[in-house]
Amino acid sequence: MHHSFVRVNLNLLKQAAIFQDLDEGELARVSEVCREQKFAVGQHVFKEGEPGNRLFIISAGEVRISRTIPGSGEEALAVLKPGACFGEMAIFDRSERSTDAIANTSCTLITIARSDFELLLDFNRDIAYKVLWSVVRLLSARLRVTNDNLRSFLAMSMF
């Protein structure tokens, strides 16, 4: 797979939740490990069950996050627009992809490989600190939503 080095728009990086606390200089550091990938409409960015070893930020176009329901086909969960970051959690927990990501239109994605990302964090303590705090906040927010959903589900199932 061809990954070209690319001059990345720092404002685009700043839109990603995990990079929102970084200053200009730190964003420039992150941009050094960014690659660019283009996908044609309908092409898979990744498939459910694959090892997750890179994160993506949409530079142009749209990406559909979906899963395949046995017997009934694809269920779209979200359509992401430019500036959206996805696939980032797998970088931290080395998990498999939990969904499919499909190019909804032809699109250009900025991508960072886990190995590059880990090196970046190893050598830049300030970046590591800020990024990891952002991840903690993201996970807490997602967990709270899950808990709320679970609570209302349990409340309903009592009757």
For the stretch 88-99, pLDDT in tens is: 888 888 889 989
Q: Where are the beta strands (DSSP E) in the chain?
A: 4-5, 35-39, 44-46, 54-60, 63-69, 73-80, 85-86, 100-103, 107-113
pLDDT band at 151 (very low <50, low <70, confident <90, very high): confident
| Predicted local confidence at residue 5, as pLDDT | 57
Class of domain 4-157: mainly beta
HEC states along 48-76? Answer: CCCECCEEEEEEECCEEEEEEECCCEEEE
Q: Report the distance separating Cα 7 and Cα 10, nearest Å.
A: 9
| Amino acid in the structure at residue 11 | N
Domain ranges of the chain: 4-157
Q: Residue 26, SS3? A: helix
Q: What is the pTM of this model?
A: 0.84
pLDDT band at 150 (very low <50, low <70, confident <90, very high): confident
What is the edge-to-edge ordering of all strands in the sheet holding 44-46?
44-46, 100-103, 63-69, 73-80
Task: Inform me whether the pLDDT recorded for 127 exceeds 60.
Answer: yes
For the stretch 103-125, pLDDT in tens is: 999 999 999 999 999 999 999 99
Percentage of residues in the chain with pLDDT exceeding 70? 95
| Predicted local confidence at residue 3, as pLDDT | 55
Q: Report the distance separating Cα 120 and Cα 109, nearest Å.
A: 20
pLDDT band at 157 (very low <50, low <70, confident <90, very high): confident
| Predicted local confidence at residue 47, as pLDDT | 95
Q: Report the distance separating Cα 149 and Cα 132, nearest Å.
A: 26
Contacts of 2 (CB under 8 A, 6+ apart): 37
